[in-house]
Amino acid sequence: MKKYFKLLIVIIVSINYSFAANTQDIPSTFADLAERLMPSVVNISTTTTITTKSNPFPFQFPPGSPFEDMFREFGTPQTRKTSALGSGFIIDEKGIVITNNHVIKGAEDIFVRVNGENFKAKVLGADSGMDLAVLKIESNNNFRPVKFGDSDNARIGDWVIAIGNPFGLGGTVTSGIISARNRSIGLSRYEDFIQTDASINQGNSGGPLFNMKGDVIGINTAILGQSGSIGIGFAIPSNSAKKVINQLIEFGETKRGWLGVRIQVVSTEIAEVEKLDTPRGALVVSVAENSPSDKAGIKAGDIILEFDGRKITEMKELPKIVAETEVGKKVKVKLWRNKRELTKDIVLGRLETSNDFKSQKTLTQKPKENNIDGLKITVRLLDKQDIQERNLPKDTRGVVITKIENDSPINYLQVNNIIVEAQKRKINTIGDLDNIVKMTLRGSEKTLLIAIYNNQNQRRYIGVKLN
């Protein structure tokens, strides 16, 4: 009997110990951690000047009137300041701050608020590819930094806290867990997001995602949905971010590896035709002339299975791995060609100096603009970057107003307003809007109903009487 009693005691003690071991990582409070970390998290505000033209008269001259040209110069440009808000965190006691590129892009003045005190800041470097920016606070003060943790060790289900400046409210702490890893949501080329259910809202962009040690394991970048947190937020992993941040601090720009290939997913059908055991790797669609891949003998139709010792399970992994590899490094690339495996040695080039990058950058910087003569405005097509920066619904389509003439029938609108509908029809292309305006002008009433997003992202309907 005594033996059974002792055995029962041992089992009870073991169960209690096991329960304690499994629950000791559940925090009873985040207060101590938040108190320690909040002085290192900053609020970022930016100002940008927007120029618009308005009619200086309470009336309009008829088209073709000699007075129209005479008084055109009186329509002097009207300028106004717009502001944007975001978050960031300090990584060096001298005032080096990390945030998102979209928080400070196009800003004329950047102000950082630390512990209730405002400082001006300058940009040391920015990268649109990973949506990161490095700022330097213009002050001789010493600041309290935080350090990066190892995001590769972060597991699904781990506790995390986010600190930031949602809706301009100032230092706000939210908690949650890591919901998923290696997420791609179509915002940029180098996506490997940590997904979290810690509440992240507009204004949290650029703020840190901390583990329970108080180390930064992610940089909060995106949310799913326009109306605020719905339990799905995304953060750039710290291990990926650190490499870019170090380059921005040292060089003021990035130096990414470049292969010089265009790739696509290896489907089940392609794997069957190529006699590949499973659909894996990245299928080479084309090879840039005189690129590192061209010089190494890689051909269209090759399937890249392994790069520098790292297996390529999915196509999307390759661009990220290549970009993180040192420029000029000689790497071994395993290929699948003609139903057998072979290896090539490739010396990586630099993406930023490649013709592919230059042409892509030119297209990004100079979007095509067209005139809508019936409205006397100039517009460009709404793109993914606009949708991301303004936190619009992902399926938003329309055109962005880039110029408004003095005598435009909608000269009371502003540059950067977005026209999404005309006559209750969605605007998918610039031609859609132009055609609807022309049809309206040919009608008898000549009244146009348009739907816009203003610069505060408020949707409005406007009735326009066309001349």
Q: How far is CA 465 from CA 17, 332, 404, 449, in A?
A: 77, 66, 16, 9
More confident residue, 253 or 77: 253
Q: pLDDT band at residue 43, thresholds of 50, 70 and 90?
A: very high
Model confidence pLDDT, tens digit, residues 352-401: 887 765 555 544 455 788 999 999 999 999 988 888 888 888 889 999 99
Active-site residue, from 45, 127, 131, 199: 131
Task: Sort strands 117-127 and 109-114 into parallel, antiparallel or unpaired.
Answer: antiparallel
* Apex 323 CA angle, 224 and 130, nearest 5: 30
What are the two backbone dihedrals, phi and then psi, of residue 5, each rounded to the nearest 5 degrees? -65, -45
Is 102 labeled as catalytic in the residue annotation?
yes
Its sign, for the CA torsion 253, 257, 259, 265, is negative
Q: Are 287 and 260 in contact (CB under 8 A)?
A: yes
Active-site residue, from 40, 205, 229, 408: 205
- Of 286, 281, 200, the closest CA to residue 235 belongs to 200
Q: Are 260 and 351 in contact (CB under 8 A)?
A: no
How is residue 328 written in tokens? Answer: 């000029």
Is 131 labeled as catalytic in the residue annotation?
yes
Using the structure block, give the residue that is written with the tokens 């001006």. Answer: 120
Q: pLDDT band at residue 129, thresholds of 50, 70 and 90?
A: confident
Q: pLDDT band at residue 20, thresholds of 50, 70 and 90?
A: very low
Q: pLDDT band at residue 350, thresholds of 50, 70 and 90?
A: very high
Model confidence pLDDT, tens digit, residues 415-440: 999 999 998 899 999 988 999 999 88
Model confidence pLDDT, tens digit, residues 179-227: 999 888 877 778 889 999 998 888 888 999 999 999 999 999 988 765 5
In a 3-state reduction of DSSP, which class is residue 202? coil
Give the relative orientation of helices 238-251 and 317-324 as an angle to the nearest 10 degrees: 40
Q: What one-character DSSP code corresponds to residue 410?
A: T
Res 178: pLDDT: 96
Query: Which pTM does this prediction carry?
Result: 0.66
Is 395 labeled as catalytic in the residue annotation?
no
Model confidence pLDDT, tens digit, residues 225-280: 655 667 789 999 999 999 999 999 999 999 999 999 999 999 998 899 899 999 99
Active-site residue, from 102, 215, 386, 434: 102
Q: How far apart are the C-alpha atoms of 445 and 430, rounded to whole Å?
A: 23
